[in-house]
Structure 1
């Protein structure tokens, strides 16, 4: 590997590495607007300029690559980079001045305030004074469909959003028009962003608040929000996300990119706006037995009377819950062959590079590794109808089950002498069971899953569950007397 020097610190990197990325590896933050690791580099913002020994002008670190080491002298220093010289500081200050010439003082009302790169870099690299005496240009804000709002006054023309719609989502809805002093980002030929299932990512990509989400617009100041690392339940990929919450309420989901994982930079709008179903409304649910509120002792006695004491108990675990929940639930089964898996949701593959699976069941692999058999519910139905299985315990989320599978599960619960459903909110299927217990949602607990690619993905608790709502391991501990870790 070639050797380079960054501010007199030697390091070895792979040939072809961007200078900006090389600087990051030694903890040097290079300011940038247009660069994004998942998009093609274009060097339009000129904020990432660095000085390279031997070159007459400053170079853009987002497009300059490290050359290979010479064959006759492989230990030679092939490049010397300086990020803290007076020339670099002057260039950054000049770029900031140009970017702020037409930028409005919208910080008090801008959704991006608090996580805005223009604010951060203006403070770190700007001059603090403005020489702009002319009237700033003005545009009206525009709706790019029902999901995205653009305020062109704030736009610094980094073209991240344009490149995203061209290179990632493929719809090319956005383009750059009116070159020169009237440059603007707009929709191409009257297109709307509504048909783009990944449109919300342009809001994350925009570094200055020109593109905002209609769903989040003017609703919450970001510095009030707490961000908790979690995962999306949308598919078997288990995409990492941030849960932004405040006041025991989720306000948004955002992608949480993992180092070296380009496919984690973007999430679909379906999973982005799924946060609403995890905000509870109304009174806290309570355990029920035969349709009326009941104590856990009564439910446990009914389960033991029908299952372990007089027959056999089978469990059905939907693969959209965590591995700890799967492990504990499996312990309620009389034998290992009575662990059945459910969940048959599939998702359309729109971006094959980023959607490597059409499976809509988050933790199918984790449940399978713990002995749950998917596609065998017909076998369980036969066992229940024959009397070989007396009691059935179902872990269920209606959003991930088709009408066909719901009908089959309903037949199983109806045929069983005793059935117990564990759900976050009671569904028609849950109400059809003999007994029902309220469980925490994934936002109210900490657990982990094994995604489609065999990677372990953890998620952390963001919300406080209502009183009386417990995790699956906690309920199982009291139902079966098995020591729980939760």
Structure 2
């Protein structure tokens, strides 16, 4: 393993480690715009300059490998002068439009200009000006802000493979644009170029001018629309959800980026409280948990059906309501097309199938349940369901079971057109804390991001109270 000194601190690194990563490992991270761990390093921004003892010129740490015996300095006068010069150059044409820029508050150009800039500019000529352009319906580009780091260009070549973005012209006419007027509408990963852009040149039509980012609180959660339950940030403010963003786990490529379908799924969970169920329903009228429990007990043998897109704690509590272990059934049959194998490690959209299976839920046996209902063996059904993850065939089967069973309790965070004897107002996954076990056996936790409306509770809480009411009735 190479051993080197960084600002007189000795560090050991793995062979093939870039100096930029070695500096971060030593506790002296260097600034960068163009570098990204998932993209080919190109050293176009020149911000990651470091001084290497014995070399006549400053080196770009994102393209230099750490070598045994190197002595590296990230805070020398030569490095400081080099970074200040780069910042002055980058700000030559950059507009002072921070008050209206969506990137304000999370902009690397702002941060680095304070940390490494000189505060002066020798630019007396008029700044270059472009009109903003729509790159289709999803992405807007403002070329005035672009610093030509080429992250977005490399992303469309190396990750999405669509190649819409190019660097055109030379010198002062250099610009990032689309090839032959193409849009980014056909790129299912288009939203990632907004995350990659360090300066707000690329913005999302979905989020543009909606919210100042410094008001947002990022809460760690998971993507329910990723077959691997990938970690993401849910940005919230004033008990409202505003956007989803990737939450990278180290250098794991599958967590670095997210599909636009996952990114835009936040709209599904930005629910109007006035349109949500706020009280338990029994026979179509407001009821109580005790009344539902009494009907459930009087009905007889109880089966439960749990969709594998909810948390493991919810699964455990739901399973406790079944009259016997063999009356726990699993549902959910959503399949995701695998377009990017390096990012989409599975096509099974029921991401917590493993967690439910470990708690006794059997998938693929709804026909058996229907037969047991029709024979009179099963008298009551508790169904945990989200219509987004069940196809037409499975939904029709569930509807048939609900129509045949004498008593049914429907638990749906987002109501569907399925009909049940009783309903409880259940919280969405953003209104609870739980965990799932994805298809690779990884435990993924998610935290409560929103407060549920009054009367709405997480499934685990309802199931716990329901089990207690059933126990009291037995006693």
Question: For the Cα contact (< 8 Å) 1:340–1:372, is it kept in 2?
Answer: yes
Distance, in Å, in 1 between the alignment partners of 2:336 and 2:227 is 10
Give the one of 126, 149, 156 matched to 2:147. 156
- 1:287 has 2:274 as partner: no
Aligned residue among 395, 399, 409 for 1:410: 399
Once the two structures are superposed, what CA deviation does each residue of 1:29-87 show, in whole Å capped at 9, x if it has no partner?
A: 210000000000000000000001111111000010123xxxxxxxxx52111101000
How far is the alpha carbon of 1:463 from its aligned partner? Answer: 0.6
Which whole-Å CA distance do the structure 2 matches of 1:369 and 1:78 have between them?
52
Q: Find out whether 1:230 has 2:221 as its counterpart.
A: yes
Q: Which residue of 1 aligns with 2:370?
A: 381
Instruction: State how far apart, in whole Å, the 2-side matches of 1:183 and 1:174 are.
Output: 13
Indicate the RMSD between aligned Cα atoms, in angstroms: 1.1
Q: Once the 2 structures are TM-superposed, how far is the Cα of residue 283 of structure 1 from its aligned partner?
A: 4.1
1:107 is matched with 98
Out of 260-269 and 150-159, give the one that drifted further.
260-269
Whole-angstrom distance in 1 between the partners of 2:133 and 2:354: 44
Question: Residues 188-199 of structure 1: matches in 2 within 5 Å?
Answer: 188-199=179-190
Query: Using the alignment, how far apart are the partners of 1:304 and 1:473 within structure 2?
Result: 19
Matched with 1:248 is 239
- Find the aligned partners of 2:224 and 2:130 in 1 and give their Cα distance: 39
Q: Contact 1:476 / 1:482 at 8 angstroms: preserved in 2?
A: no
Match of 1:45 in 2: 45
Q: Does 1:65 align with 2:74?
A: no
What is the number of residues matched between the two proteins? 468
Work out whether residues 253 and 342 of structure 2, in 8 Å CA contact, stay in contact via their aligned partners in 1.
no
In the alignment, what sits opposite 2:464? 477
| Structure 2 equivalent of residue 73 of structure 1 | none
Q: TM-score, normalised by structure 2?
A: 0.97
Q: Which runs of 5+ in 1 are unaligned?
A: 68-76
Which of 235, 257, 276 pairs up with 2:267? 276
Give the structure 2 partner of residue 438 of structure 1: 425
1:27 aligns with 2:27: yes
Map 1:320-331 onto structure 2 (within 5 A). 320-331=309-320
CA drift at 1:369: 1.1
2: CA distance, partners of 1:52 / 1:146: 47
2:384 is equivalent to residue 395 of structure 1: yes
Q: Which moved more, 1:150-159 or 1:352-361?
A: 352-361
Equivalent residues of 1:315, 1:392 under 8 A apart: yes
Contact 2:139 2:203 in 1 (8 A): yes
Matched-pair contact (CA < 8 Å) for 2:37–2:251? no
Gaps of 5+ in 2: 471-475
The question of 1:456 aligning with 2:411 is answered: no
Runs of 4+ in 1 over 3 A off after TM superposition: none
- Counterpart CA distance in 1 for 2:214 and 2:364 is 46
- Secondary structure in 1 aligned to 2:294? helix
On the 8 A contact 2:308/2:332 being kept in 1, the answer is yes
Does the 8 Å contact 2:235/2:243 carry over to 1? yes
Match of 1:359 in 2: 348
Match of 1:303, SS state, is helix
Q: 1:422 aligns with which of 398, 411, 432?
A: 411
The structural deviation recorded for 1:346 is: 0.7
The 3-state SS of whatever aligns with 1:38 is coil
Structure 1 residue matching 2:176: 3-state secondary structure: strand
| SS of structure 1 residue aligned to 2:171 | coil
1:357-392 deviations in whole A, cap 9, x for unaligned? 001112111111111111111111111111111111
Q: Secondary structure at the match of 2:398?
A: helix
The answer to whether residue 294 in structure 2 is matched with residue 301 in structure 1 is: yes
